[in-house]
Amino acid sequence: MLFVFTLIYLSCSMQPAIVRVLYPVESLETQTTNYSKTNYEAISKDNVDISLQYLDKKDLYYLAKRNRNPYTSDGTRPLLTVFKIVVHNRRSDKIKINKDLIVLLDDQGHQYNALNFESFRQMFPSTYERSMDYNFLFAQNFVEPKRYSSDYYKKEEVKKNLFQGGYIYKKIEVTGLISFVRLTEMTKQLTIIIPDVELYEDKKIIKKIDFKFTFVQTVERIGH
């Protein structure tokens, strides 16, 4: 029996680890990107700098405690495709980014919108744990003390990190996370578009520009 268990344990522990790496695709727009750096791409236009960093399995693990992490299923396995976005407005007036317009396109013919907070509320619907305690003091049969569920804490983590978009005023830098459904291993290339970024001057929109980030995805199996 011990021998059988040992074989099962060894066979499970010897399963290859799957690592996804994104390489930026060079274009005229991405002149500021260091192409030796994986999982990262940066674009500068009209004194607006936007960078995206793909968060891999290890990055997601450290975002929150295991049972409160909305980006992993068991504290280790990624649930979503997540990027850290940094926007630096170097202009002399405000800009505006509509986060609801951010999309991801893949080479499998799919288009995905960035997940908003309502999407996460549907993923993690509960707020309280259900538990039954006997209350001797008041001789009531059962009461349900309100204890926050892991879903509640996951939503709180999302609130802290979710990229809000909206107005970004002059000389200000903002950061946040944008999330999409988990891409399959079949995906070889993906493009994230941040469209219609509004540039202002004297309280008027003078221009709208798009930011397009393209990556090639490779899937590496370690320990096979």
Domains, the chain, ranges and CATH? 2-222 (2.60.40.1240)
Helix (H) or strand (E) holding 36: none
Instruction: Tokens for 79, please give them.
Output: 């649930």
Task: In whole angstroms, give the CA distance from residue 163 to residue 182.
Answer: 18
Rounded mean pLDDT, 130-149: 61
Give the global pTM.
0.82
How big is the CA angle at 55 (ends 52 and 60), to the nearest 5 degrees?
A: 145
Mean pLDDT of the chain: 85
pLDDT band at 142 (very low <50, low <70, confident <90, very high): low
Rounded mean pLDDT, 72-78: 82
Residues with Cβ within 8 Å of 84's Cβ and at least 6 positions away in sequence, in order, are 52, 53, 55, 175, 176, 177
